[in-house]
Chain A
Amino acid sequence: MTRDLLGGFTLGSLSRAIQSRDVSPVEVTEACLARIDRLDRTLNAFITLTPDRALAAARRAEREITAGRPRGPLHGVPIALKDLFATAGVRTTCGSRILRDWVPAEDAGVVRRLHDAGAVILGKLNMSEFAYAAIHSDYGPPRNPWNLDRFTGGSSSGSGAAVAGGLCFGATGTDTGGSIRNPAAHCGIVGLKPTYGLVSRAGVVPLAWSLDHAGPMARTVEDAAILLDAMAGFDPADPTSMAPAPVGAGGRLPLEASAPAVRSLRLGAVDGQLAKETSADVAACVREAVRVLQPLVAEVEEVILPMLEEMVAAWWTICLAEASAYHQQTLAARAQDFGPIVRERLQAGLAIPAVQYLQAQRVRRAAVLEFDKLLAHVDLLVLPATFAEAPPIAAADAVHSSEVLRRRTVPTAPFNLLGLPAVSVPCGFTDSGLPVGLQIVGRRGEDRLVLAAAHLYEQSAGWWTRRPPLDERTSSS
């Protein structure tokens, strides 16, 4: 290899190089596979690799591009899938022993869209078991490329490790209470939980139907926007699916074109309300990010999130009940095949009364109305994506108290309950050199505006240019 195909490109710049035929999809796919071969024994990001399929897709992309039939910006770009997106003919484990040998007959709707866009799919990524709590011992935890003794966060754990480690140019994730934004923040990449319904969940194994969102994870905001454009769209197989916003409403405009709109925005910064929960170095990074954003927008004011405690309570009730409903039959038949932490949560969820679940849904509606009022006053909310830096690997498997579990969901889960678009974008590093994520939240359907604001911040702050010192660490180990 005479040129740095993996470190030197983002998904966006690689896409342009492929379209101008400066880089071959086959060459870059081979480079990714070689890097996976070298690093994934350490990172443990992949559960299943599909090199033959990837190379076949890369060759097809090369032929089509050479023949003047480009499919769009993902054509020939190597990406990977969280292992709960069904893939025809390729096992889909959900990080579980229960589905260890499940080979779906059909692709998930999102996977079909990514194939149609010409993406090269390298394989299936490690994740928390059924996207719920801990990594199953059959697969072991992925390691954080910024510090191999640290966890990536979850549940889209392998997606975070693979993108941050430069094993692929983007990945899919799912987010029920923070599972895209949490590993994105901990791994120093961008992760978007889109508006509820914007990305189809057909063929995506659920955790909790009314809270689940599928979305992109990538190195930069532009990369995430390119992935989102391919992933989003109406799917009749998902009854909650909706059409993306039309171009006139900012639907697929280049992010730069949205910059003037960002400059007229009012930003609501959530600070004091979460100060007690947030570690000092994370809080300092987020405050500095708000300072960087201040001259880029019309106005910044501090705001309070309404009904925060009630939303966290409603989220836990709904998530526990819906997850247990989905897994009830398997839990009765094969309880011992679940990992202990997931099994305990599923068992606890059986005891949620129907009336409490319905009260939680009523609270959810009341919270939606309160946030409609807040987001009539400010256009975007900014807050930490996590309260603390990535935990040590050993702590990732620990059984935590209910209070610790609840605390972790506070910055992210409310936006799953509300269905609002929320992105985590890198905003600095803690004292121990681990990445911190700034969360930007917008109104329903305004995903493009959220990404535009994140892009403007990202380009001003410049954190995205830093890469984990992975090659030095793995070559000396």
Chain B
Amino acid sequence: MAAETIDGPSVKAFVIAAMRLAGVAADDEMLARVLPLAETALADGPRLIRAAASTLEPLAHPGRPVAAVHVMAAGRGGAGA
């Protein structure tokens, strides 16, 4: 289940920018703890892009989630049913 590798300095710069934009202070000690998790998560990007390319389906509207739509389609009730 290993994530793919990703460029460490780029991740660090990206994480600092994201945290500043969110109004969260980023010091070195905290970054040392956060970066491994962020690196692993961002390294999933290429795998997700490849896997997403296998579907042309539109995404469900957030107010009508996939599970509810499916169950309604199968005639087993659904939101408002």
Contact = CB atoms under 8 A, between A and B. Distances in A.
A-B complex is real: yes
Interface of A: 195-197, 210, 234, 239-246, 249, 307-310, 312-314, 316-317, 320, 328, 331-332, 335, 340, 344-345, 347-353, 356, 358-366, 368-369, 399, 401-403, 405-407, 410, 419, 444-445
Given A239-B63, A347-B30, A332 B23 contact: yes
Contacts of A246: 76-77
A419 B72 CA distance: 14
A473 to B, nearest CB: 37
Nearest to A401: B36
| Dominant SS among interface residues on chain A | helix
Contacts of B37: 344-345, 348, 402, 405
A241 B22 contact: no
B54 to A, nearest CB: 5
12 contacts: A239-B62, A240-B79, A242-B67, A313-B3, A314-B51, A347-B26, A351-B42, A356-B44, A363-B48, A405-B37, A444-B67, A444-B70
A309 B57 CA distance: 21
Interface residues of B, number: 51
B80 A234 contact: yes
A374 B25 CA distance: 46
B66 A419 contact: yes
Contact of B59 (A310, A362, A444): A362
B29 to A, nearest CB: 11
B42 A242 contact: no
A371 to B, nearest CB: 11
Contacts of B51: 307, 310, 313-314, 359, 363, 366
Contact of A402 (B25, B40, B68): B40
A240 B61 CA distance: 11
Contact of B24 (A313, A332, A419): A332
Contacts of B30: 344, 347
A201 to B, nearest CB: 12
A402 B35 CA distance: 10
B19 A309 contact: no
Contacts of A239: 62-63, 79
A210 B65 CA distance: 8
A310 B63 CA distance: 25
Contact of A331 (B24, B42, B55, B60): B24
Given A310-B48, A359-B52, A362-B52, A347 B77 contact: no
Contacts of A361: 59
A347 B44 contact: no
A335 B36 CA distance: 19
Interface of B: 1-3, 11, 14-15, 18-19, 22-26, 30, 33-34, 36-42, 44-45, 47-49, 51-52, 54-55, 57, 59-60, 62-63, 65-68, 70-72, 74, 76-81
Contacts of A399: 33
B30 to A, nearest CB: 7
A196 B67 contact: yes
Contacts of B55: 362-363, 365-366, 369
Contacts of A368: 66, 70
Contacts of B39: 402
B4 to A, nearest CB: 9
A250 to B, nearest CB: 10
Contacts of B76: 245-246, 249, 444-445
B66 to A, nearest CB: 6
Contacts of B80: 234
Residue with the highest number of chain B CB atoms closer than 10 Å, among A246, A307, A317, A362: A362
Contact of B54 (A210, A351, A358, A366): A366
**5 tightest Cβ-Cβ pairs between the two chains A and B:** A419-B67, A402-B40, A362-B52, A243-B77, A196-B67
Contacts of B48: 310, 313-314, 317, 356, 359-360, 362-363
A197 B71 CA distance: 10
A364 B55 CA distance: 10
A313 B34 contact: no
Contacts of A444: 67, 70-71, 74, 76
Nearest to A329: B23
B47 to A, nearest CB: 5
A74 B51 CA distance: 46
Given A307-B51, A359-B45, A406 B66 contact: no
A242 B71 contact: yes
